[in-house]
Amino acid sequence: MKSHARVVVIGGGVVGCSVLFHLARAGWTDVVLLERDELTSGSTWHAAGGMHTINGDPNVAKLQKYTIELYKEIEELSGQATGVHITGGVLLAATEARMDWLRGVVAKGRYLGLDLEEISAEEAHRLMPLLDPKQFVGAVRNSEDGHLDPSGVTHAYAKAARKLGAEVERFTKVEDIQRLADGTWRIITNKGEIVAEHVVNAGGLWAREVGRMVGLELPVLAMEHMYLITEDMPEVAEVNRTTGKEVIHAVDFDGELYLRQERGGMLMGTYEKANKPWSEWSTPWNFGHELLEPDIDRIAPSLEVGFRHFPAFQNTGIKQIINGPFTFAPDGNPLVGPVRGLPNFWVACGVMAGFSQGGGVGLALSNWMIHGDPGFDIFAMDVARYGDWASMRYTNAKVRENYSRRFSIRFPNEELPAGRPLKTTPVYDLLTARGAQFGVAYGLEVPLWYAPHGVKDEFSWRRSSDFPHVAKEVATVRERVGLGEISSYAKYRVTGQKAKAWLDRMLACRLPKPGRMTLAPMLKEDGKLIGDFSLANLGGALPVNGGSTGGDQEWLILGSGIAEQYHMRWFEQHLPADGSVYVEALGLKLTGLSIAGPKARDVLAKVTHDDVSNAAFPFMAIRRMDIDMAPCIVGRVSYSGDLGYEIWMAPEYQRHVFTTLLEAGEEFSVGLFGGRALNALRLEKNYGTWAREYRPIYGPVEAGLDRFVAYSKEADFIGKAGALAERKNGGKYRLRAFVMEALDADVIGDETIWHGGAVVGWVTSGGYAHNAQKSVALGYVPKEVTGEQDGFEIELLGRRHKARLQPAPLFDANLERLRG
Ligand SMILES: Cc1cc2nc3c(=O)[nH]c(=O)nc-3n(C[C@H](O)[C@H](O)[C@H](O)COP(=O)(O)OP(=O)(O)OC[C@H]3O[C@@H](n4cnc5c(N)ncnc54)[C@H](O)[C@@H]3O)c2cc1C
């Protein structure tokens, strides 16, 4: 084994081997993979080998498609057979609700380039004669499904990587990892040491153990998973004989089952409700090529459904049941990327569908390591979507929930209960008492809407039980004054002598003067967005951590709560080494409330001695202010697009401020509003939101944020050259707002936009704008697709609905309310 390498990849499962291959293919050939046993000695060897392109997140779906297309290349390069059989498959719906979901999948497939087609249950039966069409209401045909040989694929990656110059060391167990003073990593193995610039944890079943070597507790948990293989079946032989092909794949969502042909019989895998985690706290090092004891009782309810839906199974014997463990992150998506606080330590783990996702994970990670950017929008797989709050017990609860719902429908208004409540703000019980229905963001309970006694969400693709109540909350804001909780925003305090200069480089906007705020896009090196914030020059103290640092040395950045770890990682990667700038994510050290609506100023004036007239406290002003007895920071801004204020306070004051505002607002008939009302309010202002409209694949011109980019400012901000180039060439897409003719359902995101009979774009978010009484969709279309107001269609629940471009906001287009 060599003593130095540019990269050490730990783990010779399908994921580690893919990472190795992708690094070598991109030209990083001084790379070594360390495997404690033979390759495939974790989850990989006993996988069922199924692969498919569909995923709830379109960006992950794209990488799945890439993975499947890659197998030909690695087979040719390595000379190692991968056993890939593209059989095609059917995705089956036993209920109308499932069929609605599948229609959405087909629509998404149109702009992702996936070959999906809605078909009848009878047609599905013709394609896959083992199913009983009476059990299903419809299906989708997918031409890209198939299966492969897990061991063959893993070895093909490894052999191809070796041919390109990479090395693989088997029977080499990593026992410790140490960070050296020069920033490199010392990897201590049972066969000696190796020093590397970069380390990749692709430890699969042992990813937690490898993480712990560097003080990292990764939110992954292994689950037992079973599939059965039947004796040879005459029905299978008949299909093979008459079609000359294998029986195609099937995913039976309502049965939570997947099926494919295995030799002369069938393979059926289950995601059972009564699932079982494996090795909950640590994975034994002596586990290798063994299987777990099958437990047929546990999967019996799933098999019952399976045998009913696929009657041929009733006449055959079970030859073998495989039970093996594999790991999941709390939401079932992989954990990929650089780890905050551990420079050049990377993870590629929690990959639960290694044969659909392994190639994409390897490509994205290698891009990231080599070019500083994954090259795709992979937030859904980014390890930074979790923070310390994703503890082991939380992970355990969420993974079990996710496993039991692997193929279940999640309705747009459905909030999943496991692992909650975890983080709550001081007003949580006060909001609960007033009917708050909570969702969760970055582990924090956030009020979505307020339900009258006895009313709750009825899960649906269509407008549901919350609709009239959210409408009332919207009316409260637009007609009087609403009070909302905004603690879920991410809040960063930036201080230090060089804070101003640092922000000027990090953010693309012009920095505000003391006491002012501005919208602040943050760009990556390539000029695309990596953040969209409000930036406040506090020029004074926050009521946390004490002490004023004076003008221009204390700043507050407000951003998306779910991206806190993501943005902190970016900030810290760019901090000067001399300690002259300090960034702190305040989390719940700073809580927030917002008042919005035409009477918001009247309410504020009652509870503070400050002059809050428009002249004294105009739009985008921010200052310290006591709200009754509580020291707060108040910004004259509101995401509702109305006259409004965001009020920030240390958590110990939040209840006091909340009750003070409610009492003061009584004479104006103040009411509470939640996240769903806020969504309806921002939609009629055409306001975008991070992780929806604003993502790292769009430039500021495309996203309509260019007016906040100070192209001519002196500071050489990150991404300036890319931003200037985008301004010159106009980018590819434009974010547009649409009003669509919808009847009883509104878009949620990822729907298809048509123009002139062709698919031209995709929806990023939308919903019903109650005040304007219009169904609104925001989405990206090519920049050339402009001009006519009409002629667009948006595909929703399998039907194309007429849509019209809505360039001017439906509410307060001339900003009188906002600035008045
Ligand atoms: C029963 C079953 C059926 C499945 N069916 C499918 C399917 O049909 N399709 C699909 O896509 N996926 C399937 N999977 C999931 C699939 O197996 C996993 O997604 C995949 O194997 C994960 O690969 P990995 O490389 O991340 O992890 P692993 O395969 O666990 O690999 C990790 C490797 O790292 C090595 N390692 C760990 N720690 C160290 C160390 N300290 N030093 C050196 N080496 C170390 C281990 O020995 C191991 O070889 C199935 C899983 C099971 C259990």
For 626-663, the pLDDT digits (tens) are 999 999 999 999 999 999 999 999 999 999 999 999 99
Mutate to test the pocket of ligand 1, among 21, 43, 225 (most ligand atoms within 8 A of CB): 43
pLDDT, residue 540, reads 54
- Long-range contact pairs involving 802-806 (C-beta distance under 8 Å, separation at least 24): 802/740, 802/741, 803/738, 803/739, 803/740, 803/741, 803/753, 803/777, 804/738, 804/739, 804/740, 805/736, 805/737, 805/738, 806/686, 806/737, 806/738, 806/739, 806/774, 806/776
pLDDT, residue 546, reads 45
Query: Measured from the CB, is residue 354 less than 6 Å from ligand 1?
Result: yes
Residue 390 alpha carbon to ligand 1 centre in Å: 22
Residue 354 alpha carbon to ligand 1 centre in Å: 7
Query: Measured from the CB, is residue 681 less than 6 Å from ligand 1?
Result: no
- pLDDT tens-digit map of 222-261: 999 999 999 999 999 999 999 999 999 999 998 899 999 9
Residue stretches of the chain with pLDDT short of 50: 541-549
Query: Measured from the CB, is residue 236 less than 6 Å from ligand 1?
Result: no
pLDDT, residue 550, reads 52
Query: Measured from the CB, is residue 11 less than 6 Å from ligand 1?
Result: yes
Query: Measured from the CB, is residue 211 less than 6 Å from ligand 1?
Result: no
Three-state DSSP at 544 gives: coil
Query: Measured from the CB, is residue 353 less than 6 Å from ligand 1?
Result: yes
DSSP state of 655: H
Query: Measured from the CB, is residue 42 less than 6 Å from ligand 1?
Result: yes
Atom in ligand 1 nearest the alpha carbon of residue 326:
53
Residue 320 alpha carbon to ligand 1 centre in Å: 21
Taking only Cα atoms into account, the Rg of the chain, rounded to an integer number of angstroms, comes to 27
Contact 402, 81 (CB under 8 A): no
Q: Taking the CA of residue 395 as centre, how many other CA atoms within 13 Å lie in the half-sphere pointing to its CB?
A: 26
As a whole number of angstroms, the distance between CA 557 and CA 520 comes to 9
Q: What is the 3-state secondary structure (H, E, C) of 550-605?
A: CCCCEEEEEECHHHHHHHHHHHHHCCCCCCCCEEEECHHHCEEEEEECCCHHHHHH
Atom in ligand 1 nearest the alpha carbon of residue 49:
8
Atom in ligand 1 nearest the alpha carbon of residue 324:
53
Residue 43 alpha carbon to ligand 1 centre in Å: 3
Residue 10 alpha carbon to ligand 1 centre in Å: 12
Residue 127 alpha carbon to ligand 1 centre in Å: 32
pTM of this prediction? 0.96
Q: What is the 3-state secondary structure (H, E, C) of 333-365?
A: CCEEEEECCEEEEEEEECCCCHHHHHHHHHHHH
Residue 223 alpha carbon to ligand 1 centre in Å: 12
DSSP state of 621: B
pLDDT, residue 624, reads 92
pLDDT, residue 547, reads 46
CA-nearest residue for atom 31, ligand 1, is: 13
pLDDT, residue 74, reads 97
Residue 319 alpha carbon to ligand 1 centre in Å: 24
As a whole number of angstroms, the distance between CA 558 and CA 491 comes to 5
Query: Measured from the CB, is residue 355 less than 6 Å from ligand 1?
Result: yes
DSSP state of 487: T
Query: Measured from the CB, is residue 359 less than 6 Å from ligand 1?
Result: no
